[in-house]
Structure 1
Amino acid sequence: MKKQFAVIGLGRFGGSICKSLSEQGMEVLAIDTNEDKVNEFASIATHAVVADTTEENTLKSLGIRNFDHVVVAIGDNIQSSILTTLMLVEQGVNHITVKAQNDYHEKVLSKIGAHKVVHPERDMGVRIAHNIVSKNVLDYLELSDEYSIVELEAGQTVNHRTLIDLDIRAKYGCNVMAIKRDEEINVSPSADEVLRQGDIIIVIGADKDISRMEKDLFDEDD
């Protein structure tokens, strides 16, 4: 049985989620106060409606509590975002993900019962910053204030060396989760796995340890 999603707010973030869910074959209700936006997604989402989600009766008429997951992606109107989230919580929606504009907004959303709060602009900014600071970091995912997952490209320093030879876990406290080579992905590679230049190494660990490891093993002069 297909999961049912509702996306409230059809700006760049909400619109992207709506399109992606629809492409994955999910049932999606697209909601916005802007009729032009709703018309734009009428052929993409399962249903698209013009509605003010800060109105309790409006949400009830949409049967919002029957949806498996509701995403609140309202743009700059923090008040509408908070009121909508509060209404969803009061109506007993099982999973509520909300886009936050800033840390204060996030604190309020968490206090009133949002299940997950995301900062798409901030998080993307952090990822881009890591990518442009180091040519070796291809992607970056922050797990907490201190731990992350990074994708690093193998260069000459690690070329033809095995994981046991590099001893990444003992020396740096990091774990190699997977190695991507061309189209193949080796998950939980063995200690005798030989690295090649151009391999993508996916590593999890503390930021300070990853930074140290990157400097020792991946930071090469052009």
Structure 2
Amino acid sequence: MKRVVVIGLGIFGFNIAKDLYENGFEVLAIDKDKEVVQKIRDHSTKAILADGTDKEVMESIGIQENDVVIVSFGEDLAAATLLTLHLKEMRVKRIIVKAPDEDHKHVLEKVGATDVIIPEKEMADKVARGLISPNVLDYIPLSEDYTICELVPPADFMGKAIGELHLRTKYHIEVIAVREVLPDRIRMVPRADFIIKDSDVLVVIGKEEDIQKVR
């Protein structure tokens, strides 16, 4: 079982701790607000009232023995930076830090964060993508250029074989899986003669601007 520590239980930290716990993770939740710690007790493996920036306290808790530490201090860059430095010194394997913007992200990466997320930006990007490409259900950015996403096939794809569509030539994208609703199953790396049904969802990889052309 993966062990995760969430330090800072604002809206983001509280919900990620709760979601991970409900999905089988061993979650240690830490905050210096007594009321919040009381609320998270039923939604975590263990909840501790403590100042996350206190290195001695974090070492005594055994933070370094966990697989992942998530830092969620809102816009308090000083606290997030200090804690990230401490975690790096404690040799924590993976340090995920919430940041309010790109400037803070760069600072946190320089001091040792392995992953920095900007929830507001990611949500804005997701909403924008939903409006730009309404047939894109979900996406996972792999790099600045490439993305994996779930794609509702356009009407002119229905009843045709994947190979017949020449997706690599026409759109520069590749179908790596098909999520079939009827029957409920995932077909990995479908054959060129796989016929697309109106209940199928295509999992494709490619550049974002190329995926957006599939309408």
User: Contact 1:172–1:209 (CA<8 Å) still a contact in 2?
Assistant: yes
- The aligned amino acid for 1:9 is G
Give how far 1:53 is off. Answer: 1.4
How do 1:31-46 and structure 2 match up within 5 A? 31-46=30-45
1:42 partner SS: helix
For 2:127 and 2:88, how far apart are their aligned partners in 1?
A: 34
Offset at residue 17 of structure 1 (A): 1.9
Residue deviations 1:136-174, cap 9 Å, x none? 222233222222122221232111111111011122221
> Whole-Å Cα distance in 2 between the matches of residues 140 and 123 of structure 1?
11
CA distance in 2, matches of 1:59, 1:192: 56
Cα distance, 1:80 vs structure 2: 1.0
Quote the Cα distance in structure 2 between the aligned partners of 1:170 and 1:26.
43
Q: Which residue of 1 aligns with 2:137?
A: 138
CA distance in 1, matches of 2:190, 2:27: 38
Q: SS of the counterpart of 1:76?
A: coil
Distance across 2 between alignment mates of 1:155 and 1:6: 43
1:59 aligns with 2:65: no
Query: Who is 1:20 aligned against?
Result: 19
**Letter in structure 1 aligned against 2:195:** V
Determine if contact 1:154/1:198 at 8 Å carries over to the other structure: no
| TM-score, reference length from structure 1 | 0.89
Q: Is contact 2:17–2:27 with CA below 8 Å preserved after alignment? A: yes
Asked if the contact 1:163–1:193 (Cα under 8 Å) also holds between the matched residues in 2, the reply is yes
Number of paired residues?
A: 213
- Secondary structure, counterpart of 1:43 in structure 2: helix
Residue identity in the other structure for 1:51: A
Partner of residue 6, structure 2: 7
Deviations 1:38-63 (A, max 9, x none): 10011221111111111222212212
Alignment TM-score, normalising by the size of structure 2: 0.92
Distance 1:134 1:208 in 2: 10
Q: Are 2:113 and 1:114 aligned?
A: yes
Per the alignment, residue 201 of structure 2 pairs with: 200
- Structure 1 runs of 4+ aligned residues shifted over 4 Å read none
Name the CA shift for 1:141/1:94 in 2 (closer, same or farther; >3 Å): closer
The Cα of 1:211 is off from its aligned counterpart by 2.5
Q: Distance in 2 between matches of 1:157 and 1:54?
A: 56
8 Å Cα contact 1:127-1:141 kept in structure 2: no
**5+ residue gaps, structure 1:** none
